[in-house]
Amino acid sequence: MTQATQARPRKRLALWIILATLAVLLAVLIVPSRINIGRYRGRITQLISSSLGRPVRLSSVEMRLLPRPGFVLTDLTVDEDPAYGAEPLLHASTVSASIRIASLFRGHLEIGRISVDEASLNLVRARNGHWNLDPLFRTAAGHAVSGAAPARRSVVLPYLEATNSRINLIEGTEKLPFSLLNTDLSLEQERPGEWRVELRGQPARTDVSLDLADTGILRLQGNIHPASELRQMPLHLDVVWREAQLGQLARLLTGSDPGWRGALTGDLHIEGTAEAAQVKARLRAEGVHRAEFAPANTLDFDANCALVYHFTSRSAENLTCDSPLGNGRMRLTGSIPGEGSPQLSMELFRIPVDALLDSLRTMRSGFGEGLEARGTVSGKVSYAEVPVEIQVPAKRGKSAAARTHPVPAGPLSGSFVVEGFRLSGNGLSTPIQAAKVVFEPAPPIAGEQNPEPALAATLPIPAGGVGPLNVTARLAHAGYSVTVRGQASIARGRELAHAAGVLNVAGLDALAGDPVSIDLTLDGPWRPEQPAPFSIPPAAGAPVLPAPAGTTDHVNGTIALRTANWKSDYLANRVQISQAVLHIGDSGMRWDPVAFAFGPVKGAAVLSIPPGCAAPAPCPASFELQFGTLDAAALQAAILGARESGTLISTLIERLRPAATPVWPLLDGTIKADAFVLGPVTLQDMTATVHVTQNAAEIEGLQATLFGGSVAASGTLQAPGDARQDKPAYALTGHFEKLNAAAVGQLIGLRWAGGAIDADGKLTLEGYTGSDLADSAKGTLHFEARHGVLAAASGANPVPAALARFDRWTADAEIGGGKIVVQQNVLQQGPRTKAVEVSVTLADPAKTTFPASRPTAPAKR
C-alpha cells in the first residue's frame, strides 16, 4: 500500500514533464507560423539602428525559439556615418538577435544580445582624429550622464559579440593593410555608458605574405565608463601580445623581413582617460638573432616603460624606460611634447661592449662576424634644445663684473665613456685596444644642411705607418659616420678592412709594398633597407673591392699607394706600381692615375669599376692604358715569357684554363700607344678598343698609322680550354690604305717604288712561339698597287721583268704553311696583262721568291 502511494506522485510528475515537452514542441511548431515576422522586421531594424546610432539594413528575419527566443537576421549591414566614409561599419551574412523575455511582459520587444559570426568590421579614424565608434559610446554616455531614461523605442544595446570575424583599419579614406583576423569580440554595456570590452585576434597584413601562426595573438580586456566624449571616458585597458616571432612581426609592421629572429611578448596597461592616460608597458624578447646565424649569446632584453599620454596634444610626459642589456642596464627618461622638441636623457650603466656589438650584428647582416669585444660603456647623455647660460668676462675698461648671456648650444650634453676597450678576432693579428674612449657631443659638419645632433669619439690605431691611423666615429639617431685618416701598412689595412666587413679584401691580398695613405669616410643607416651602392665582382681584379651587397653604406675618399706591387692569378709576373690613387664614391671606384711597370713595359692606366648590377647582367670594369713606345717583344717577354715551349708561357696558359674560375676579369677599355713596335713593323698612334671575357678577348676599332698610310683592324683571342684546343688561338681582320711602297718592299726584302698600296686580309693562327704562329697561320690577302717599280735587293734573285715597271697590280694570296703565296693576280702594263708567281716566306727576315711567271693574253680593246 505504501509503495502504491509513493508511485502515484512519480507518475504524475512524469506525465507533467511529457505534457510540458509536448507543449514546447507544439509552440515551436505552431507559434512561429502564427507570428507575422514581417511585422517585426521594421521594429528589429529600428531597435538595432537606435542602439548603434547608424542606419541598418537586412534582407530577411526568421523566428527562433530554441535555445532561447530570438530572431535570425540575414545579410545585416550597418551603414557608416558619411563623415567617416562610404564603406559599411559592419556587415555579416547571418546574425542572431536574442529577445529579452522580461520585455515581453512589459508589452514591448527588446533585443538583449546580438551575435555575429564571420563578420567584417571597419574601424575608421577620420582626418580630425575622431573614430567612427565615438558616436556609439557618446550616445550611451549621454544617457548615463544626463540621467534621462532612453525612449521606449530607443533601447540601449547591452551586449554585442562577434566570432571568427575580421577587423579592418581605415585612416581617412585610405584602407590600411593592417587587420585582425579570426577575431572574437564582445562589447557589453552593464549599465548605460559603462562598457566591458574583450577582444582576441591575430594581427595580419594584406599586402605581404605572412605566416599567421607566427604573428602572435593579441588580447584586449578593459572597462570604459561614461563621459560626454570618448576621449574623456575613464578607462581601464590591458593589452597582451603573445606568441609573436620577431621575423614575422617585423614583416607585419614594416612590410619587409630585416632578418631578425626571436620570440616577442608585449604587455600594455592603460589607466585614466585619453586626455591623461597612465601607460605602463613591458616588452620582452628572447633568443634574438639574425636568421643566417645563431650566436653563442643571443640579444635578449626586458624593457619596462611608464608615461602619461595626452590624446589631444599627442604628447607624452614623465617617460621612464628601464631595460637590462647584458650585465648592465640602460635607462631612458624625459618628455615628448606634441609640438616642439623632446627632452630626453639616456643613461647607461656598465653596458658590455660585446652586447652593443651583438646589437649591431642583429641590425646589420654580416657585420663583424668573428669579432670579439671587451669593455663597458657608462655615462649619461641628454637631449634638449634650450639655450645655455654662459659667463662672458667683461672687456677691459668696462665693469669688472662678468655678464651672463644666453648662447644657443647644441641639444646634446653629457658623454658616454668606454673603458677597457679591446677588439680582437676575425683576422686581427694585433687587437685594437684603448684604456678609455669618450663619446662627446660633436660639432656640426661644415656645410651640412640641417645637421643632426651626434656623438663622436676618435681612436688612434697603430697600423704600421709613420703615425697612427685615426678613426673617428660619429653616432647619430638616423645612422653613423666613420672617418679614417692616416697611414697603414698594406697588411694591417687588409686586416682592418676584413674585420670591419666594409671592404672585400680579395683584391688587397694581391698588394704588397710601402704603407698606404688613407682618407675615407663611411656612413650609412643603422638598419639598411636597400641594395649596396656598389658591388664589384671579384673577377674585376681590383686591389680593393667595396662593401658586399645588401648594405646601404656609402664609402667616399681616397687610398694612395706608392712603391707597391700587385700580383694576380691571371698575370705571370707582378705589376710594379710607382704611384696609384684609388677614388671611392657612390658612382663606383676609379684608379686614377696609375703609373706602373710590367717587366720592361712601362705605362699609365685608369681603371673604373662601376656600381654593382643585378645578375645576370655583366658588370665589366673599364680601363684606359697609355704607353709611349710599346715593344711587342718586350710585352711578350713580360706577359708570356720566353718563346720556347715549356717556359713561363706554358705556366701562364695552364693558369688560363677554365678550371681556374674566373680565368680573366670582365674588362672593357682602350689601349693607346705612341708607337707599337712589331719587329720590323711599327704602328704609330695606335688606338684599340678591347673587350675581355673569362677566357677570350675581342679587339675592335684598332686604328694606327703604318708605312705612311693607315690600318684598321679587329680580331679575337681565345685562350686554351681543353684537349681540343690546347693553344691560344687568334683571328684577325685588317684593312690597309695608302701604304708606302718603299716601306712594304723593305719589309719583304725588295726595292719597291711607286704609288701607294691598299690591302685587305684575314688571318687565323695559334701557338705559343713565333714558329708555332708562322706554321699555323692561315688566311687570305688581297692587295692592289699602282705605278710600281720593283727591283731585287742587293745580292737577291732578280725580279721578273713584268714587275720591273707596271701600271696596276691586283692580286689574291693564300696564307698557309708558313708562306704567303700569290694566287690569282693581274699585272697590267699598258694594254697588256700578265700574271706572275710570288711567294713570301714568313721568317725573320722575310724572304720573297719568284717562280717562273706565265704570260697571259692581251687585254681586249
The predicted-structure confidence for 411-446, as pLDDT tens digits, reads as follows 899 999 999 999 998 888 889 999 999 999 988 777
CA dihedral 578, 584, 587, 590 (to 10 degrees): 0
pLDDT above 90 (res 189):
no
pLDDT above 60 (res 27):
no
Q: Which helix (H) or strand (E) holds 242?
A: strand 235-245
Most confident residue range from 59-63, 91-95, 191-195: 91-95
Work out the average pLDDT over 173-181. Answer: 86
- Within 8 A by CB and 6+ apart from 412, the residues are 381, 382, 383, 441, 453, 454, 455
CA dihedral 669, 673, 676, 682 (to 10 degrees): 130
Least confident of 12-16, 196-200, 268-272, 556-560: 12-16
pLDDT above 90 (res 334):
yes
- By CB neighbour count within 10 A (0-12 exposed, 13-18 middle, 19+ buried), where does 19 fall? exposed
Count of residues in the chain: 861
pLDDT above 80 (res 540):
no
**Nearest Cα to Cα of residue 537 among 671, 368, 693, 721:** 693
Record the cell numbers describing residue 177, joined without a space.
593593410
Work out the average pLDDT over 530-546. Answer: 36
**Nearest Cα to Cα of residue 266 among 287, 236, 245, 297:** 245
In the prediction, which pLDDT does 644 show? 44
Record the cell numbers describing residue 831, joined without a space.
694594254
Q: At 311, phi and psi to the nearest 5?
A: -65, -45
Phi-psi region of 243 (alpha: psi -120 to 50; beta: other; left: phi over 0): left
Listing DSSP states for 545-571 in one string gives: B-PPTT---EEEEEEEEEEEEE--TT-
H runs (alpha helix) in 623-696:
632-639, 648-655
Could you tell me which residue, 165 or 544, shows the higher pLDDT?
165
Sign for the CA dihedral angle at 520, 526, 530, 535 comes to: positive
Q: Report the predicted TM-score, pTM, of the whole model to 2 decimal places.
A: 0.69
Q: What percent of the chain has pLDDT over 90?
A: 27
Q: Quote the CA–CA distance of 517 and 555 in Å, as a whole number.
A: 16
Q: 507-527 pLDDT, tens per residue?
A: 567 788 899 999 988 888 877
In the prediction, which pLDDT does 654 show? 43
Work out the average pLDDT over 440-469. Answer: 86
Work out the average pLDDT over 801-813. Answer: 91
Q: What percent of the chain has pLDDT over 70?
A: 73
Q: 573-606 pLDDT, tens per residue?
A: 788 999 999 888 888 888 888 999 887 888 999 9
In the prediction, which pLDDT does 188 show? 82
Cα–Cα distance list, 759 to 392, 738, 743, 746, 818 (Å): 89, 9, 14, 17, 20
In the prediction, which pLDDT does 688 show? 94
**Nearest Cα to Cα of residue 208 among 252, 261, 259, 258:** 252
In the prediction, which pLDDT does 465 show? 87
Q: What is the mean pLDDT of the chain?
A: 78
Cβ(781)–Cβ(761) under 8 Å? Answer: yes
Record the cell numbers describing residue 335, joined without a space.
618628455
Q: Please, which pLDDT band fits residue 331 given cuts at 50, 70 and 90?
A: very high
pLDDT above 90 (res 391):
no
In the prediction, which pLDDT does 742 show? 92
